[in-house]
């Protein structure tokens, strides 16, 4: 290999190394985005009581949408719309079927550590119980949620 080709090869490799290190430094400075949206789905344990008699907890499908604004790296504030399906709605065959609980919550998430993505989640708002059975009723009241979590980047 001739000397100019060796020098050119060294310069190209050196340049590639510096570009990678600058890119890595820039990635470490990336801040959290100002707006956020998301979807949450899963199964949760919900305890119902009928006629003041407790019933065992059973797994129920839950789904929610959330979004909001992050004015600071340690704070996010937004809206969370979620719900539990207790009995499937029967619009096609029997319109008197269906029981669900829906929540409309204001959400505040706090990130207390600068280098870790652990969070504290505080939510509060209105919960609505919907029951389509003929002799039942729909009602609403206040609700809330408190939790800890980890956000994976």
Residue-wise pLDDT tens digits, 109-134:
999 988 888 999 999 999 998 888 88
How many Å apart are CA 120 and CA 111, to the nearest integer? 7
pLDDT tens figures, 76-106: 999 999 988 887 777 666 767 788 889 999 9
* pLDDT of 29 strictly over 60: no
Q: Which of 1-10, 29-38, 50-59 has the lowest mean pLDDT?
A: 1-10
Q: Select the more confidently predicted residue: 12 or 71.
A: 71
At 114 the pLDDT is 84
* pLDDT of 40 strictly over 90: no
Q: What is the mean pLDDT of the chain?
A: 78
How many Å apart are CA 120 and CA 148, to the nearest integer? 5
At 26 the pLDDT is 47
Structure tokens at 106: 């204001």
Residue 51 DSSP symbol: T
Structure tokens at 63: 């789904």
How many Å apart are CA 138 and CA 91, to the nearest integer? 17
Maximum Cα–Cα distance across the chain = 93
At 136 the pLDDT is 80
């Amino acid at each position: 290999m001739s000397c100019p080709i060796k020098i050119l090869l060294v310069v190209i490799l050196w340049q590639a190394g510096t570009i990678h290190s600058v890119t890595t430094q820039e990635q470490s400075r990336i801040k959290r985005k100002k707006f956020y949206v998301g979807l949450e789905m899963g199964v949760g344990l919900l305890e119902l009581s009928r006629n003041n008699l407790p019933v065992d907890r059973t797994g129920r499908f839950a789904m929610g949408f959330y979004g909001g604004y992050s004015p600071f790296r340690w704070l996010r504030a937004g809206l969370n719309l979620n719900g539990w399906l207790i009995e499937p709605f029967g619009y096609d065959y029997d319109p008197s079927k269906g029981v669900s609980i829906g929540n409309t919550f204001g959400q505040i998430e706090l990130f207390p550590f600068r280098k870790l993505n652990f969070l504290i989640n505080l939510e509060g708002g209105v919960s609505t119980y919907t029951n389509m059975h003929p002799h039942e009723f729909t009602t609403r009241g206040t609700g809330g949620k408190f939790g800890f979590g980890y956000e994976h980047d």
